[in-house]
Amino acid sequence: MTIGYVGGWTSKAGVLVREGGSSKPVPQSVKVKQMLALVGNDPLALNTAKMNEQRLYKNFKGFDPETVTVKQLGNVSAFLRDRGLISDVTALTLLNAGDKFDRFGVQKNPDEKFNALEYFATQLDNIQNNNLKGNKYANHLIPEYKKAIYVLQNLKTYGMGNGTAVPNTKGVNGKA
């Protein structure tokens, strides 16, 4: 057993970060990578065609869920919910992301960046472990956490794309 000061490490969004001037996050753990691989992706979790109709590409250009703040994630969830792109429950799940709360339930450091995909993968792993221990409420949370991961993955893909393509209204022209 260790007594006393053992190092300058703190946990930020499930990642160990060295305290001090050079705070480089530790790369994703093998467990997080496994969880994200098990969850996979669902390209139909977010209706990108509807997003194109509403011309939302400029709002999500360059979106990266691996470096997002709690405040940004809350704004994104409200924005998507208001446009009917995600359900209220998924929006609430995204809105409540983060692991630092004060005693009143208010999030601390809402402008601090964290890896949202890693956060949801870690939470999903914890929920599944609780489910194995007999917590049946966890059965209801698993699909929503997976959906949150899918939405973040789809937003990243959508934001990294080239924007909307102008549909061809003239039909196909060409010589055979």
SS3 for 57-116 is HHHHCCCCCCCEEHHHHHHHHHHHHHCCCCCHHHHHHHHCCCCCECCCCCECCCCCEECH
- Which of the four pLDDT bands, split at 50, 70 and 90, describes residue 152? very high
Give the pLDDT of residue 70.
Answer: 87
User: Mean pLDDT in the chain?
Assistant: 76
Over residues 96-145, the pLDDT tens digits come to 887 666 666 666 777 788 888 998 998 888 888 877 677 777 778 888 99
Distance of CA 90 to the CA centre of its chain: 11
| pLDDT computed for residue 128 by the predictor | 82
Confidence of residue 22 (pLDDT cuts 50, 70, 90): very low
Residue bearing tokens 């997002």: 68
Amino acid, single-letter form, for residue 129: N
pLDDT at 10: 59
Which of 33-37, 144-148, 151-155 comes out lowest in average pLDDT? 33-37
Answer whether 117's CB lies under 8 Å from 36's CB: yes
pTM for the full predicted model = 0.71
Please tell me what DSSP assigns to residue 19: -
pLDDT of residue 84: 92
Contacts for 51 with CB less than 8 Å, ≥ 6 apart: 57, 60, 85, 158
Higher pLDDT, 19 or 75: 75
